[in-house]
Structure 1
Amino acid sequence: MYQYTDQEFNEVDFSRTDQRDGELTRCTFVRCRFIGTSLEEITTAGCRFIECDFTAAHLNASIHTESAFENCIFHDANLFVSKFTECKMTGSDFTKAQLDGITIEQGDWSYTNLRFAGLAKQDLRGIRLLEADLTGANLEKADLRKAELTRTQFAKAKLKGADLRGAEMDGVNFRSFSVEGARMDGNQAVSFMRAFGAKVD
Structure 2
Amino acid sequence: MTPDRPRANIDPVSHEPLIPDPELVIRDQDWYGHDLSGRRYAHHSFIDTDWTEVTDEGAVFEHCAFSGVRFNASRHTAAAFTNCTFKRCVFFDTHFTDCKLVGSLFQQCAFTLFRVSRGDWSFVGLPGADLREAVFDGVRMREADLTAARLEKATVTGTDLSGAMLHSSKLTGADLRGSDLSSLDPLTVELAGAKIGLDQAVVIATALGLDVT
TM interval, short-chain normalised: 0.7 to 0.9
Instruction: Find the counterpart in structure 1 of residue 4 from structure 2.
Output: none
Paired letter, 1:22 = H
CA distance in 1, matches of 2:49, 2:136: 28
1:37-95 residue CA offsets vs partner (Å, 9 max, x unmatched): 22222111101100100011122222111101001111101111222111111111111
| Structure 1 residue runs without a partner (length 5+) | 1-10
- Partner of 1:22: helix, strand, or coil? coil
CA distance in 2, matches of 1:39, 1:142: 25
1:149-190 residue CA offsets vs partner (Å, 9 max, x unmatched): 111122221111112222112233333212221122233222
Identity of aligned residues (%): 35
8 Å Cα contact 1:56/1:78 also seen in 2: yes
Instruction: Find the counterpart in structure 2 of residue 130 from structure 1.
Output: 142
- Partner of 2:199: helix, strand, or coil? helix
Instruction: Find the counterpart in structure 2 of residue 112 from structure 1.
Output: 124
CA distance in 1, matches of 2:70, 2:176: 32
- Partner of 2:35: helix, strand, or coil? strand
1:74-121 residue CA offsets vs partner (Å, 9 max, x unmatched): 110111122211111111111111111222222222111112222222
8 Å Cα contact 1:137/1:157 also seen in 2: yes
Paired letter, 2:40 = T
Is 1:72 the counterpart of 2:80? The answer is no
Paired letter, 2:143 = E
CA distance in 1, matches of 2:130, 2:122: 17
CA distance in 2, matches of 1:20, 1:109: 26
Is 1:98 the counterpart of 2:110? The answer is yes
8 Å Cα contact 2:166/2:183 also seen in 1: no
Select between 42-51 and 76-85 the one with higher mean Cα deviation. Answer: 76-85
Bigger RCO (CA 8 Å, 6+ sep)? 2
The CA RMSD over aligned residues, in Å, is 1.7
Runs of 4+ off more than 3 Å: none
CA distance in 1, matches of 2:73, 2:145: 25
8 Å Cα contact 1:153/1:173 also seen in 2: no
- CA-CA distance at 1:141 after TM superposition: 2.0
Counterpart among 36, 39, 57 of residue 24 in structure 1: 36
Paired letter, 1:44 = D
CA distance in 1, matches of 2:164, 2:176: 13
- Partner of 1:192: helix, strand, or coil? helix
Instruction: Find the counterpart in structure 2 of residue 180 from structure 1.
Output: 192
8 Å Cα contact 2:105/2:124 also seen in 1: yes
Instruction: Find the counterpart in structure 2 of residue 6 from structure 1.
Output: none
